[in-house]
Amino acid sequence: MASHELLGGLIQVYRRGDGRYWQCSASIDGKQYRKSTGAGSGARQAEDWYFGLRGKARAGLLKTEKTFDQVADQFEKEYEIITEGQRSARWTRGHKDRLRLHLRPFLSSAFRKLPPAGSRVSRPSRLAAYEARQASDPQHTA
């Protein structure tokens, strides 16, 4: 894989295998961004893309978090396909109905933006707090 660094390593430009186009990647505020340059040699396009990205980051215009509605829309598109032949149409329709009637009204307003890996982080901490309460409870018998 051919690769180059631009602007002192702030931008990495590389070509995957036999690909026609160059790809570029950069890290801004600890988040990695990637884009195809769509060109045979992408140094100029990569620099323009990077400076535009930095400008958007400074102005607070970069969207990094997904909303619950975006995730729910993607789930609805994929669930029927993923479970095809394994679940009935009634089963998948029931999931969509529960999402529409119960989850979306509650979670769409409660969580405008989903933190990355938020649920994975909170579950272990909840489990640790539960175990600590159980250990300190004198009436708890194991």
Chain mean pLDDT for the chain: 80
Question: Confidence class of residue 21 from pLDDT cuts 50, 70 and 90?
Answer: confident
pTM of the model: 0.47
Confidence band for 37, pLDDT divided at 50, 70 and 90: confident
Q: Looking at the predicted structure, is the pLDDT value of residue 128 above 70?
A: yes
- Tell which wins on pLDDT, 115 or 39: 39
The pLDDT score that the predictor gives to residue 68 is 81
Asked if pLDDT for residue 117 goes beyond 70, the answer is: no
Q: Which amino acid is it at 61? A: L
Residue 124, pLDDT above cutoff 80: no
- Count Cβ atoms within 10 A of the Cβ of residue 80 and give its class: 0-12 exposed, 13-18 middle, 19 or more buried: middle
Write out the CATH class of domain 2-59: mainly beta
Q: Across residues 108-123, what is the average pLDDT?
A: 56
pLDDT over 90 (residue 139): no
Res 85: pLDDT: 82
Predicted pLDDT at 64? 67
Domain boundaries, the chain: 2-59, 68-133
Crossing angle of helices 68-82 and 89-98, in 10° steps, is 170
Tens-place pLDDT, residues 54-102: 999 888 888 767 778 888 888 888 888 888 888 888 988 898 999 989 8
